[in-house]
C-alpha cells in the first residue's frame, strides 16, 4: 500500500474514459462504502439515495454492477433491500449470488469447518452473540461502539482464542475497522474481482469502490482493467487511484457514473 495524500475525486479524464467505454463494470464494497459504520451492524443500511442510484445504473444496458462484500448473503440482502437483487459476491468470495437468484457456495475442508466451530464456541464464552459475526468462511468479533475497557477485553479474548489456529496453512487472522476476524484463506475480494473480470469483455472499464484494508486485495486485482477508489472520510495508505468522502462525494460519483452510461 502507498501513502498518497494528494489523491482526489475522479477527474474529467476518468469520466471521459468511462463514457467512451462500451461496457462499464462498477464493483462496490458495502460496509463503510455504501453504508456508514454503526454500532449495530444489522442496521447498517445504505446512505439515503444510494439504492435509487444503483437501480438507475443497473438499468443501463452498458453497465454491470456487482457488490463485493465480506458479509454473508443472509446479512447483506435485507440491508440492501433491492428487488431484483444485484449480483453479489459475499463472505469474502465464498458465496456468489447471480441476478437470476442462483447462488453458489464454495465448500470448505472438514478440518477448517471444525476449527471455525471451535472458535465460535470459545468466543461465546465471553463475547455476546450480537458482537459476533458467524459467516460460512470466518468467525469475527466486533467491538465498534464499545468503551475502551470492553474493547480491550474483547480483543484480548479474541486473540487468545485464535492464537492456536492463526498459523494454520488454511487460515488467517485479520484485523478490520472495529474488529478481528479469523477467516479461511484461498478466497478474498481480490479473487472475486478476478473472477468477475474473467467473465467480462477484455475492453471493459472497471472500478472498485472500497474503504477497508480488506479492499486492497480488490484494488490490486483490477490491474490494468480499471481503477480503485478509496471511500472514507479519513485517509489511510492505499493502492487506490482516487479518494472520495461519503456520503456526498459518493452520491456525486454514482450520479456521474449513471450519466456516463
Could you report the per-residue pLDDT of 46-92, keeping only the tens digit for each? 999 999 999 999 999 999 999 999 999 999 999 999 999 999 999 99
Interaxial angle between packed helices 110-123 and 148-162, expressed in degrees from 0 to 180 and rounded to the nearest 10: 150
CA distance 83 to 86: 8
The average pLDDT across 109-124 equals 92
Same domain, 211 and 98: yes
Same domain, 241 and 213: yes
Please tell me the predicted confidence (pLDDT) of residue 3: 54
Answer whether residue 6 is part of any domain: no
Strands of 138-142's sheet, edge to edge? 132-135, 138-142, 179-184, 171-176
Could you report the per-residue pLDDT of 3-19, keeping only the tens digit for each? 565 789 999 999 999 99
Same domain, 25 and 73: yes
Answer whether residue 227 is part of any domain: yes
Could you report the per-residue pLDDT of 35-46, keeping only the tens digit for each? 999 888 899 999
Cis omega before residue 84 (within 30°)?
yes
Same domain, 149 and 205: no
State the chain's mean pLDDT as an integer: 93
Q: Does position 30 have pLDDT exceeding 70, yes or no? A: yes
Could you report the per-residue pLDDT of 51-60, keeping only the tens digit for each? 999 999 999 9
E-strand stretches of 29-170: 63-68, 87-90, 95-97, 103-105, 132-135, 138-142
Q: How many distinct structural domains can be found in the chain?
A: 2
Query: Residue 93: which pLDDT band, with cuts at 50, 70 and 90?
Result: very high
Same domain, 97 and 202: yes
Judged by DSSP in three states, 172 sits in strand
Query: Residue 207: which pLDDT band, with cuts at 50, 70 and 90?
Result: very high
Answer whether residue 228 is part of any domain: yes
Same domain, 16 and 99: yes
Same domain, 83 and 205: yes
Domain around 100: 12-106+187-260
Question: Contact 176/145 with Cβ under 8 angstroms?
Answer: no
Query: Residue 254: which pLDDT band, with cuts at 50, 70 and 90?
Result: very high
* CATH code for position 174: 3.30.70.3080
Judged by DSSP in three states, 229 sits in strand
Same domain, 101 and 212: yes
pTM over 0.85: yes
Amino acid at each position: 500500500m502507498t501513502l498518497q495524500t494528494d489523491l482526489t475525486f475522479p477527474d474529467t479524464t476518468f469520466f471521459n474514459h468511462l463514457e467512451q467505454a462500451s461496457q462499464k463494470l462498477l464493483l462496490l464494497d458495502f460496509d463503510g462504502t455504501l453504508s456508514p459504520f454503526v454500532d449495530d451492524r444489522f442496521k447498517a443500511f445504505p446512505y439515503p439515495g444510494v439504492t435509487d442510484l444503483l437501480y438507475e445504473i443497473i438499468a443501463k444496458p452498458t453497465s454491470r454492477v456487482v457488490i463485493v462484500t465480506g458479509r454473508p448473503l443472509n446479512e447483506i440482502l435485507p440491508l440492501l433491500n433491492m428487488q431484483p437483487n444485484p449480483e453479489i459476491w459475499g463472505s469474502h468470495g465464498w458465496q456468489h449470488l447471480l441476478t437470476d437468484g442462483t447462488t453458489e457456495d464454495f465448500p470448505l475442508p472438514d478440518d477448517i469447518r471444525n476449527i471455525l466451530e471451535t472458535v465460535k464456541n470459545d468466543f461465546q464464552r465471553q463475547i455476546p452473540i450480537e458482537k459476533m459475526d458467524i459467516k460460512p468462511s470466518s468467525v469475527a468479533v466486533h467491538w465498534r461502539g464499545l468503551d475502551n475497557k470492553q474493547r480491550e477485553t474483547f480483543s484480548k479474548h479474541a486473540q487468545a482464542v485464535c492464537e492456536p489456529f492463526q498459523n494454520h496453512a488454511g487460515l488467517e487472522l485479520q484485523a478490520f475497522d472495529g474488529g478481528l476476524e479469523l477467516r479461511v484463506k484461498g478466497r478474498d475480494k481480490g479473487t472475486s474481482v478476478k473472477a468477475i473480470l474473467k467473465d467480462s469483455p477484455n475492453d471493459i472499464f472497471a472500478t472498485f469502490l472500497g474503504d477497508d484494508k480488506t479492499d486492497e486485495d480488490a484494488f490490486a486485482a483490477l490491474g490494468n482493467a480499471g481503477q480503485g477508489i478509496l471511500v472514507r472520510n479519513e485517509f489511510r495508505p492505499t493502492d487506490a487511484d482516487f479518494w472520495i468522502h461519503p456520503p456526498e462525494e459518493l452520491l456525486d460519483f454514482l450520479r456521474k457514473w449513471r450519466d456516463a452510461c
